[in-house]
């Protein structure tokens, strides 16, 4: 299920909103946020099958974003549970340990993840 909150609001997903392909036990969950945490992604990833090529872990609120290779368009934004993302692309588990303020990227879905501190444009 997708949620589209009003700008500036947060969404808490019920504990039952775990993607059916994500069968990890809670004790094995590697992210610093729970499996039912709302994350930002793109409709093209959720509905169109586009690959996740860029992952950011926000420094300010520890939120996660799962994006494509280019600049994201707000019209393409979607909010889903973190477990939904893991169910769609289990390779994101490889970057679950990036610290807040960092990001990971890869040129193609077959390429290994690269990681480093995030440089904010204009700042």
Q: Is 108 contained in some domain?
A: yes
Residues 6+ apart with CB under 8 A from 29: 35
Q: Is 54 contained in some domain?
A: yes
Listed residue (81, 107, 113) closest to 95, CA to CA? 113
With a cut of 70, say whether residue 1 has pLDDT above it: no
Q: Is 4 contained in some domain?
A: no
Question: Which stretch of DSSP H or E encloses residue 33?
Answer: none
State how many domains the chain has: 1
Q: Is 66 contained in some domain?
A: yes
Q: Is 98 contained in some domain?
A: yes
Q: What percent of the chain has pLDDT over 70?
A: 76
Cα separation, 96 vs 55, whole angstroms: 9
Q: What is the pLDDT of residues 48-76, one digit of tens each?
A: 999 999 999 999 999 999 999 887 788 88
pLDDT of residue 6: 39
With a cut of 80, say whether residue 12 has pLDDT above it: no
Q: What average pLDDT score do residues 82-111 get?
A: 96
How far, CA to CA in Å, does 82 sit from each of 79, 121, 123? 9, 26, 29
Instruction: Kindly give the residue spans of alpha helices, DSSP state H, lying in the chain.
Output: 43-46, 82-88
Give the pair of three-digit tokens for residue 4. 């589209």
Q: Is 101 contained in some domain?
A: yes
Range of the domain at 74: 31-114
Q: Is 41 contained in some domain?
A: yes
Compute the 3-state secondary structure of the chain and give helix, strand, coil in percent, each to the nearest 5.
20, 25, 60
Cα separation, 32 vs 84, whole angstroms: 16
Q: What is the pLDDT of residues 20-58, one digit of tens each?
A: 444 556 668 999 999 999 999 999 999 999 999 999 999
pLDDT of residue 10: 43
With a cut of 80, say whether residue 14 has pLDDT above it: no
pLDDT of residue 28: 83
Give 5's pLDDT tier (boundaries 50, 70, 90). Answer: very low
Q: Is 24 contained in some domain?
A: no
1-5, 46-50, 54-58, 86-90: the lowest-pLDDT one: 1-5
């Amino acid at each position: 299920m997708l949620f589209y909150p009003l700008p500036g609001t947060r969404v808490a997903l019920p504990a039952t909103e775990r993607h059916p392909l994500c069968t990890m036990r809670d004790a094995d969950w590697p992210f610093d946020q729970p499996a039912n945490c709302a994350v930002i992604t793109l409709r093209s990833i959720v509905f169109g099958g586009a690959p996740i090529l860029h992952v950011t872990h926000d420094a300010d609120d520890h939120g996660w974003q799962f994006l494509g290779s280019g600049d994201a368009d707000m019209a393409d934004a979607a909010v889903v549970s973190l477990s939904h993302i893991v169910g769609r692309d289990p390779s994101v588990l490889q970057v679950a340990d990036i610290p807040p303020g960092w990001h990971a990227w890869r040129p193609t879905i077959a390429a290994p993840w690269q990681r480093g501190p995030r440089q904010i444009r204009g700042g």
